[in-house]
Amino acid sequence: MRLLARVSILLASSLSLSATTLNILSNSSVVIIPPTVSNGPTRAEYMSSAHGLDGFKLSNINSTAFGELWFFDAVSDDGRYWVVASFWASPSPSLTMQLRNEKILSVQMVVRVDDDIYSANSVFAEAAQIFTHGKGMNGTWKGTGSSFSGSEDLSTYSINFSSPFEITGSILMEPVAPAHYKCSSDEVGIDTQILPELGWANPIPDAQATVALKVNGTDVKFKGIGYHDLTWSNTPLFRSGTDSVFREYNWGHGRIGPYSIVWLVIAGSDGTNLTSGYVSKDGIILGTPCSDVSVTLRFNPSTEQIQGSSVRMGLGDKGTIHAELEVEKIVINDAGVISGSGRLRGVLGDEGSKHAGVASFTYYNSVH
């Protein structure tokens, strides 16, 4: 499906590039997202296509649409650092409640250094420029000092922050795991909806991340694992106030030894359930199962705080992967959303010794 209302132009420079490189990923387009909500219906693209994996999936963003969120995170190998960056094109840039902003373009970042937590919120952008080229894209939230840029084969990705953003520097990602959608690798014609009218794509399930930020005058530098996904909808995430389309969800990603793992478990308020898993090794997908996947949560019986999850994914004849998340640091704990990092241990099939690594997770429960 092509969105008719999308401003899409082929650039002369990319035409000459494609003529010389004969690259089948050479399709390019520019979309300018205006700074405020639009009038009229918002249409969304929920079917995957050959290009624009990471692109803008909506025709416009009206005042009741969730809009689109480009999400990035990284956890250091030693677990001391955690960073999350969110690029919003949304009148309601929140996972915990319905907001009603006229202005829709903003960037948020949260950084944890040991037990210290820092955050930055951008000014509203004057416009966002989304340049899609092949599977990659770059996005510039004009006036915020924040942008991200992925090469067209998605082999490198950088997220850059400069003044007036209060945290400056960059997050570089070199992906080590191929992109995926729920229950599928990155293929054409996949239904990307994780709930009715809520699209999700995971261009970078796992990456080598190199983070170099300046936070409140201090250098924050680390290497670790990185991740990037995007979520979009032409309808609201909250029907009213805090009444979310989710009853519960549990998302996480991590790496153990050679395995990159992503899980996404959703109980929708409408009774829809989804359990989606992903495992890759050495740049090859071992499975994107949506059946034979279970994620069991563990809670501290006295505080009722989440302590961890047991993740089990059946990969057919490649065996079953078992991974244990042990929550180490909770950074966000707001209106039912709990986000942070932890230790991940696990094993595939009858491998003798367990692998160890780190993970990032979010757990949401509407009953709080």
Task: List the structure tokens of 126.
Answer: 């004057």
Contact 189/1 with Cβ under 8 angstroms?
no
The candidate with the shortest Cα–Cα distance to 261, out of 328, 186, 183, 177, is 177
Q: Rounded to whole angstroms, how far apart are CA atoms 276 and 278?
A: 7
Task: List the structure tokens of 332.
Answer: 């966000």
What is each CA distance from 46 to 68, 109, 225, 311, 357, in whole angstroms? 12, 27, 28, 28, 33
60 binds ligand NAG (CB under 6 A): no
Dihedral class, residue 205 (left if φ above 0, else alpha if ψ from -120 to 50, else beta) = alpha
Among 9, 19, 24, 32, binds ligand NAG (CB under 6 A): 24
Which residue, 25 or 335, is less far from ligand NAG as judged by CB?
25
The piece of 267-275, 293-301, 332-340, 352-360 that touches ligand NAG (CB under 6 A) is 267-275
234 binds ligand NAG (CB under 6 A): yes
Q: Taking CB under 6 A as the criterion, which residues in 142-161 touch ligand NAG?
A: 147, 149, 158, 160
Task: List the structure tokens of 115.
Answer: 């037990």
27 binds ligand NAG (CB under 6 A): yes
Which residue, 131 or 200, is less far from ligand NAG as judged by CB?
131
Task: List the structure tokens of 48.
Answer: 């995957």
The piece of 56-64, 184-192, 302-310, 345-353 that touches ligand NAG (CB under 6 A) is 56-64
269 binds ligand NAG (CB under 6 A): no
Q: Rounded to whole angstroms, how far apart are CA atoms 85 and 215?
A: 14
The piece of 37-45, 302-310, 329-337, 339-347 that touches ligand NAG (CB under 6 A) is 37-45
Minimal distance, residue 318 CB to ligand NAG, in Å: 27
Interface contacts to ligand NAG, rule CB under 6 A: 24, 26-27, 40-42, 62-65, 116, 118, 131, 133, 138, 140, 147, 149, 158, 160, 170, 172, 216-217, 234, 267, 271, 273
